[in-house]
């Protein structure tokens, strides 16, 4: 160990911060060995000033979610092609890019990682990743729960070699697992041929994704090393994939266990000492109350995925009413200081249904499932403790999911889709757009049939030449959606009332088709009333319901229309959104021209 006098943070100070967390996970004897090894590992990375950075985000932060090969061309690597697309089309629109796992893998489109420290050569190399990071803040996945069965670690396990032989959970095949909560119907324990005979290893997600044993402190140290490597390669956000399952304790539900929370808090504490500007985000697709627990006491995740939003917003637009959205919004506490919600409506996975538990009645839930099936969706199931199965997620392109309502397809697909994205970017939190939402990508039935996996329906790989042709045609859905969403995002990025932690209050207009809420800037110098018609019919808003201050001038940021009669009525077109503000921050010189949507707004 280096002498502590030369360290930015002494071993004693380091121990004072980390020991109480590790004590909740490991035995005293383990900690005595673990602490100096951990300190040695991070000592050169430690910063002398590691106060919490409360300025990691503001209203300007917008993220894109994409695979490294969502756009491909013949004359450049996928990551180089992605970088070209970003700089051509999104340089003034998004500020950060979540590149989904870009490591060598064996299955699950990257989430069965073979090597956490290498870039998949089919995508490019670290230089390509870092090139994207020069213009955009990068998010990397830390797939901390499991590793590929083709990894060196698991091969070592099968050969009874160090270090991997002690990295996995090996249990008798008759170990009771009925109480284990998980999103799959496959067996929890998978038999594996090893040099010592058949052994049964824990596999939460698939036989190719073998869970790691964090009761071995060496596994924890391996992932600290990986986190440090990601920071060196430019990660500004680290996404903890499927992190709720991290700790296993047979006989329990094996999700959200106290040790899991303590390990995440330790990750955060170490990052705080290494680079306070890096944010941890937890991915836990579970009911809302469970999800909120990952904020901890302001000492765990900096951001949590807002998993309830996608299914509830989809259902609201299917039904043309805002009641469940309002109920959910009123139940959401403001994010703690130094924390934020991560808002999204679509991702590389399906639309999770567990967050609807306790919010949607059985009949309405079934209508949602049936409607999505009629629009081309696949429904993925999960096993319950009683042996039955229940719907776990809807697998569909969001653009196609919004092609109609519970009454069937209609002519309002683009307006309905843009409304969904406008709601999302208006809410408290940081907005994240899946690349296939910005590109209005339809269901990839051919891709799904080729892979045999439901999720492939929403993981299309665009041919760059084909995409360029569509984006050059102003009447294509791709060009229309990208242009209008880019315009709205750029307006949104300038509004202080859309700071991720700005005040948010749910409003209650008499009309159930209207979803409305109020945002107020941290300095209280700007208000925005965000109002959305969730139906395919025009609806009237009575402005006196908003109690607008009559000493201010009010205008709609989206249309540019002024509101002079604050006691009058305003007629919203189907799926129209309004950002009514008293103090617009609007730089017309840096905002694209309004996309002509009159041909879309059909009354």
Q: Which CATH number fits the domain that encloses residue 192?
A: 3.90.400
Both 482 and 517 in one domain: the answer is no
* CB neighbour class for 549 (10 Å; exposed up to 12, middle 13-18, buried from 19): exposed
Residue 3 covered by a domain: no
Question: Of 498, 529, 558, which residue constitutes the final position of a domain?
Answer: 498
Residue with tokens 């360290």: 7
Enclosing domain of residue 180: 146-211
How much is the pLDDT for 182?
87
Is 218 catalytic? The answer is no
Residue 225 covered by a domain: yes
From the list 69, 128, 141, 241, the catalytic residue is: 241
Q: In what order do the strands lie in the sheet with 527-533?
A: 503-506, 514-520, 527-533, 577-581, 554-556, 562-563
Terminal-residue alpha carbon distance, the chain: 73
Total structural domains within the chain: 3
Percent of the chain with pLDDT over 90: 86
Which pLDDT band, with edges at 50, 70 and 90, does 603 fall under? very low
Residue 565 covered by a domain: yes
Q: Where are the alpha helices (DSSP H) in 23-173?
A: 28-42, 78-89, 126-133, 152-158
Residue 13 covered by a domain: no
Which whole-number Å values give the CA distances from 462 to 94, 214, 436, in the listed order? 19, 39, 9
- Check: CB of residue 292 under 8 Å from CB of residue 328: no
pLDDT of residue 588 exceeding 50, the answer is no
Which pLDDT band, with edges at 50, 70 and 90, does 383 fall under? confident
Could you tell me which residues are annotated as the binding site? 108, 146, 239-241, 348-349, 455
Residue 164 covered by a domain: yes
The pLDDT tens digits for 167-189 are 999 999 999 998 999 888 889 99
Q: What is the DSSP string of 268-286?
A: HHHHHHH-TT-EEEE---S
pLDDT of residue 596 exceeding 60, the answer is no
Residue 35 covered by a domain: no
Question: Of 432, 465, 498, which residue constitutes the final position of a domain?
Answer: 498
Residue 591 covered by a domain: no
Measure the CA–CA gap between 463 and 286, rounded to whole angstroms. Answer: 35
Both 537 and 470 in one domain: the answer is no
pLDDT of residue 1 exceeding 50, the answer is no
Question: Of 477, 498, 519, which residue constitutes the final position of a domain?
Answer: 498
pLDDT of residue 597 exceeding 70, the answer is no
Both 305 and 277 in one domain: the answer is yes
Could you tell me which residues are annotated as the binding site for substrate? 108, 146, 239-241, 348-349, 455
Both 513 and 535 in one domain: the answer is yes
Residue 347 covered by a domain: yes
Both 188 and 118 in one domain: the answer is no
Q: Where is 229: in which H helix or E strand?
A: helix 217-232
Both 205 and 236 in one domain: the answer is no
pLDDT: which is higher, 462 or 354: 462
The pLDDT tens digits for 86-102 are 999 999 999 999 999 99
Both 491 and 358 in one domain: the answer is yes
Residue 587, token pair as written in the block: 């730089």
Q: Which CATH number fits the domain that encloses residue 574?
A: 2.60.40.1180
Both 272 and 157 in one domain: the answer is no
CA 442 to chain centroid, in Å, comes to 20
Both 370 and 516 in one domain: the answer is no
Both 199 and 330 in one domain: the answer is no
- Check: CB of residue 60 under 8 Å from CB of residue 493: yes
For the residues 63-83, what does the mean pLDDT come to? 97
Q: Which CATH number fits the domain that encloses residue 96?
A: 3.20.20.80
Q: Which phi and psi (to 5°) does residue 490 adopt?
A: -70, -35
List beta partners, residue 541: 570
How much is the pLDDT for 388?
79
How much is the pLDDT for 587?
62
* Radius of gyration over every alpha carbon of the chain, rounded to an integer in angstroms: 25
Both 300 and 314 in one domain: the answer is yes
Both 183 and 261 in one domain: the answer is no
The pLDDT tens digits for 7-19 are 688 999 999 999 9
* CB neighbour class for 568 (10 Å; exposed up to 12, middle 13-18, buried from 19): exposed
């Amino acid at each position: 160990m280096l002498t502590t006098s030369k360290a930015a943070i002494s071993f004693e100070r380091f121990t004072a911060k980390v020991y109480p967390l590790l004590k909740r996970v490991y035995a005293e004897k383990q900690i005595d060995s673990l602490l100096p090894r951990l300190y040695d590992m991070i000592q050169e990375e430690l910063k002398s000033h590691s106060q919490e950075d409360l300025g990691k985000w503001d209203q300007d932060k917008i993220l894109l979610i994409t695979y490294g090969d969502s756009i491909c061309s013949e004359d450049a690597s996928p990551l180089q092609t992605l970088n070209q697309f970003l700089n051509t089309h999104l340089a003034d629109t998004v500020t950060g890019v979540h590149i989904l796992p870009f490591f060598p893998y064996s299955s699950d489109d990257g989430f069965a990682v073979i090597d956490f420290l290498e870039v998949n050569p089919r995508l490019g190399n670290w230089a390509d990743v870092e090139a994207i990071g020069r213009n955009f803040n990068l998010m990397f996945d830390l797939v901390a729960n499991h590793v590929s069965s083709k990894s060196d670690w698991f091969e070592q396990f099968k050969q009874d070699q160090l270090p991997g032989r002690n990295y996995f959970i090996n249990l008798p095949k008759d170990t009771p697992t009925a109480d284990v909560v998980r999103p799959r119907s496959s067996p929890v324990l998978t038999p594996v041929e090893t040099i010592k005979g058949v052994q049964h290893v824990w596999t939460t997600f698939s036989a190719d994704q073998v869970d790691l044993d964090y009761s071995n402190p060496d596994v924890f140290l391996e992932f600290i090393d990986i986190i440090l490597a990601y920071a060196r390669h430019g990660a500004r956000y680290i996404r903890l994939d499927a992190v709720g399952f991290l700790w296993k304790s047979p006989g329990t539900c094996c999700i959200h266990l106290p040790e899991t929370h303590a390990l995440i808090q330790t990750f955060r504490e170490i990052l705080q000492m290494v680079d306070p500007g890096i944010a941890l985000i937890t991915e836990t697709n579970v009911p809302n109350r469970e999800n909120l627990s990952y904020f901890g006491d302001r000492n765990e995740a900096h951001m949590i995925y807002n998993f309830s939003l996608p299914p509830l917003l989809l259902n609201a637009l299917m039904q043309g009413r805002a009641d469940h959205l309002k109920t959910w919004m009123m139940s959401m506490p403001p994010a703690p200081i130094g924390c934020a919600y991560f808002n999204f409506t679509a991702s590389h996975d399906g639309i999770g249904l567990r967050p609807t538990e306790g919010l949607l009645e059985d009949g309405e839930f079934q209508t949602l499932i049936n409607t999505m099936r009629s629009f081309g969706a696949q429904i993925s199931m999960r096993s319950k403790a009683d042996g039955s199965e229940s719907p776990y997620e809807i697998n569909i392109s969001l653009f196609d999911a919004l092609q109609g309502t519970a009454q069937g397809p209609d002519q309002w697909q683009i307006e309905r889709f843009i409304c969904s994205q406008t709601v999302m970017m208006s809410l408290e939190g940081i907005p994240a757009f899946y690349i296939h939402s910005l590109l209005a990508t339809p269901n990839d039935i051919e891709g799904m049939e080729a892979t045999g996996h439901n999720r492939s329906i929403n993981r299309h790989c665009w041919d760059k030449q084909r995409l360029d042709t569509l984006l050059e045609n102003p009447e294509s859905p791709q060009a229309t959606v990208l242009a209008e969403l880019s315009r709205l995002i750029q307006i949104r990025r300038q509004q202080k009332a859309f700071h991720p932690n700005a005040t948010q209050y749910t409003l209650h207009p008499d009309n159930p088709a209207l979803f409305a809420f109020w945002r107020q800037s941290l300095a209280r110098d700007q208000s925005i009333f965000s109002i959305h018609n969730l139906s395919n019919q025009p609806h009237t808003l009575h402005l006196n319901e908003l109690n607008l201050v009559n000493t201010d001038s009010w205008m709609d940021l989206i249309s540019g229309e002024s509101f002079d009669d604050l006691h009058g009525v305003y007629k919203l077109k189907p799926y129209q959104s309004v950002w009514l503000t008293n103090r617009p921050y609007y730089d017309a010189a840096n905002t694209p021209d309004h996309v002509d949507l009159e041909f879309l707004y059909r009354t």
